[in-house]
Each structure stands twice: as structure tokens, then as C-alpha cells.
Amino acid sequence: MNQIRYWSNNKFAAFLLGGLAIWLVVYHIFGYFGHYAFDDMDYAYYAAQWAEGSISLNDDMFAYRWAIIVPTAISYAFFGINDTASSLYPLLITLATGCLLVYVASQFGKMAMFFTILIWGFNHWSLFYADKIMPDIIQAFGVLAAFVIYSRYRFGIHRDTALETPVLFKHQFSLNAIGHQIGFVLALFFAFLAKETIFVITPFLLYLLVVDGFGGSKRLRWFWLSSTIIGAFVLLTYLLLISFLTGDWMMRFNAIAQNMYYDLNYTENLQPLIQRITYGLILLFIQQGMAISMGLTLPLVWQQYKRKAMLKMPTQQAFWVTVFVGLFLSAYFTTTSFTDYMPMRTDPRHYLFLIPIAAITAGQVLAIWAAQNKYALYLTLFAATCLLSCLLSANKWASLYLYLPLLVVFALSLIFEAQKLQIANRQTLLVSIFFAALFLYPINYILYAKSNGYAHQKQFIWHYFKNKPYKITVVTNKAQRNLANITTALKPKPFNTNT
């Protein structure tokens, strides 16, 4: 730890990203649970069609999620239809997300970089979908990229040199500004091409438009005006393309309305809706381990709130706190329907875009905790609350392998603070045991994944079905049918659950 302290940020970033790349490969090799076997098989089917030069656009909303389909099709074209080719693109996107996180966290110090990557890279659902043909991690990358680009524009373009002439500076500034505006729009559009539920963040974008566009500086107003114009042009071009390919420029939106992937219980029964918008989603985040990144942001959220910094966002810290709070509230309450109030369902994958954003602020909180032993009481109470919630719901995995180890770590730091104990290399000790505590969950999941029998399922399908002389084989289990499809190169279409 003492030697790392003298490393440059770039060297430490390279070290973290190298470790992340190795970790993703190791987790994929030893912890691969197999395919999701429903939605991802539809994406694989369309990707296989694209790889063969056949573009099929119909009333299936999955057919329009090109940000996952097209790169997967390219992978299939080069490497064939197999598990490795299916996982390659998601793994690269996950690594690219890590690169963005390291870039942002580097502004807050090496310990913040370390903790940011740690709590995001060890999160179960981030890892689970890191090698799946699913759009959620693609959407998460697009959302993060958009706000990284905006933060660069907001805080990174300054007239701080006397060597530039006013004319030269104005020219360079204009090119730089336009590049950031185009990048911001394209990142959000990329997220939209992955999954249309990106629309749930619209309230927060409108908040930024009002706060920065009307209450900010002239250059911020110009950013939002130009981005709006560029976004309208991109959307119009996209609709014209859809019209050219399908004959109906509203085809994708009609497909979304017909598929109805949101929870109908919200309109038929008020109780599930009230539960969802009050405590239901919080419980989901706790039960699924997602609260680690989100709950650890609260000390800095409260600090920025007291300073009233969420309006002006004068610093990078205030900006990323505001981004997390805004996206969290948008995801929590925004409807996914234009006709009924239907917030997103309580499925962890729908909220994966919150985890990397939350990790940026949570990483700073943990860096302060490790260096100064600050926030120890809050962190202990937070871990104890999550542990109690999981015990009451008999959630063995989260209780034993996540919250109990973290409670021990935070309680130990609280004892250090209360007793004023002076321990040599205290920071190194806390960081090490925190790493070990967070590592327990994914390592136990690797052991569990190795016992789930996916490799045996593949062998069974290959030997029993593929070379059979019969032209028709009936498989009643939907997941097994879909796994058989991809194992036999996706000749029949997978079962579509529209979820």
C-alpha cells in the first residue's frame, strides 16, 4: 500500500484495469452460469440472422435493440455461434464501463479509484450480466458515458492559457463543445438502441436542462440548446430509417406498446403499485446486494444537500452526487407507459445503470472512511440494517456472504475510532479486510455456478438432440428449449417471453 501511494494516477489506473480484465475473464471461465435462456436467446437469434445478412424487423420490440444485436452479429460472423462469441461483446462493454469509472474516480484520488472499481466490479448483478447477451449492461455503459462527457464539458473546457489567441481559442472551444454535444447525444442514443427504458431518466435530463440551461452560464445554455437540436436530428434520422426498413416510422414504439413488458398488476391492483413506489424497490436493492453501492452514497449525498450544492453543482463531487440522486429518483418513480402509471418492475437488471453511477460517490465515501475512519458509525448501522432485513426474509446468500462480513469490517473500524486505537498500517488493514469481505459473495457464487450443470446440459443437448435423425423434437421446458436452440446454432426461433 505504501508503494502504491507513490504511483502516478495513470500507473494505478492501468493496474486497476488490468486487474479488472483478469477478474472478468476468471469469473467468466469459472463462474459462468450459462445463458439467461429467455430474452438473450431472442437477441442471439436476431444476431444470427444479421450475421447471415438477413434483417428481420417485426412487432417484436427485441428486434430493434440494435446496440446488443449488431455487435453480437459481428461476433457471430467472425467466431461462429457459440458461448464465447456470445460473451465477447458484453465482456468488452463491461471493461469499457470500468475504464470510464476509473477515469471519473481518478479525480478523487487513488483510494477512490480502488473502491469505485471494487464495489462495482464485485457486485453480483454487474458480474452476472457481464457475459450475457442482455441490453442492460449496454444501457448502463451508455448512460455513464453520457454523463462522463457532460462532466468533461462542464468542468473540463476552460480558457486558462494566455498562449492562445482569442480567435484560435474560440475556434478550438467551438470544435470541442460540438464534439462533447454530439458525444452526449450519441451516448444516450446508444443506450436507447440497447433498451427503450432509457426514457425513465427523462425527468432528470429535464432537471439539468432547467438548472444548467436556464440558471447556468451561457456556455451551459448553449450546450443544452445544441444537444437538443442534435438529438432531434438523430431521432428524426432514426425514425426515417425505421420507416424505410418497415414502412412505418412508429414501428418500434408500436412494438413496445404491443409487447407490454411492464407489470399489469400495477393497473389492476393498487397495493403492488404502492408497495413498489414506497419500500418495495429499496427491499429489492438490499436483498440483491445492490444497496452496497447505493446506500454507501448517503453520507456525501447528505453533505451536498446541506451545502445546497445540488442546484449549482460547483464541483465534480457535487455533480456526481446529483447525477446519482436524479437517476435514482427517476428510476424509482418514472412511468414506462404513456397511458398508465407503470414504473419499472422490481427486477435487478432494469436498474443496472444505477450501480456504476452510485459507485463513483460510494468509492469516495469508502476512501474517506479508510483514510480518516470517518462515517464508521453510519456504515456499521447501514450494514446491520441490511443484514437484519436479509435475515428476516431468510436470504442466506446476502446475509452470510455479504452483509455479515461487511458488518464485521465496519464494526471493527468503529471500535478503532471509539477506543482511539493507534494501529500500524491501519488503512492497509481496513482496505484488506474490506476487500476480503466483498470478495466472499462472488467467490461463493463461482462455487455455486460450477455445480449448476450447464456444461452437462450442453453435452446432453449436443449428443442427444443434434445428431438425432428425427426432424421434430419436442422440448416442453422453455429454458431448455432455448439452450438447445443456441447449442444447435439457433436454427429454430427461441421462445419469446417479452419481458
Could you report the per-residue pLDDT of 258-267, keeping only the tens digit for each? Answer: 766 555 566 6
Q: Residue 339's pLDDT is what?
A: 79
pTM of the model: 0.90
Torsion angles phi and psi, residue 343, rounded to 5: -65, 165
For 312-359, the pLDDT digits (tens) are 899 999 999 999 999 999 999 998 887 788 899 899 999 999 999 999
Q: At residue 169, does pLDDT exceed 50?
A: no
Please list, in sequence order, all residues whose beta carbon lies within 8 angstroms of the beta carbon of residue 332, skipping any fewer than 6 positions away.
277, 281, 343
Cβ of 13: how many Cβ atoms within 10 Å?
19
Domain ranges of the chain: 4-372, 375-452, 458-493
Give Cα 406 to chain centroid, integer Å. Answer: 23
**More confident: 39 or 285:** 285
Check whether 157 has a pLDDT greater than 70: no
| Cα distance between residue 242 and residue 196, in whole Å | 15
Across residues 481-498, what is the average pLDDT?
Answer: 53
Q: Which residues contact 60 (CB under 8 A, 6 or more apart)?
A: 42, 255, 259, 496, 498
The pLDDT value given to residue 272: 86
Comparing 37-41, 181-185, 230-234, 492-496, the range with the smallest average pLDDT is 492-496
- Cβ atoms of 371 and 303 closer than 8 Å: no
Q: What is the pLDDT of residue 466?
A: 59
State residue 467's pLDDT score: 59
Q: Which residues contact 179 (CB under 8 A, 6 or more apart)?
A: none
Which amino acid is located at 383 in the chain? A
C-alpha cell at 458: 450442453
Which residues are paired to 343 by β-bridges? Answer: 335
For 112-131, the pLDDT digits (tens) are 999 999 999 999 999 999 99
pLDDT band per the 50, 70, 90 thresholds, residue 166: very low
Torsion angle, CA of 294/299/301/305, rounded to 10 degrees?
160
Cα(120)–Cα(279) distance, integer angstroms: 23
What integer pLDDT is reported at residue 162 of this predicted model? 34
Query: What is the chain's mean pLDDT, rounded?
Result: 86
Question: pLDDT tens digits for 66-123?
Answer: 999 999 999 999 999 888 999 999 999 999 999 999 999 999 999 999 999 999 999 9
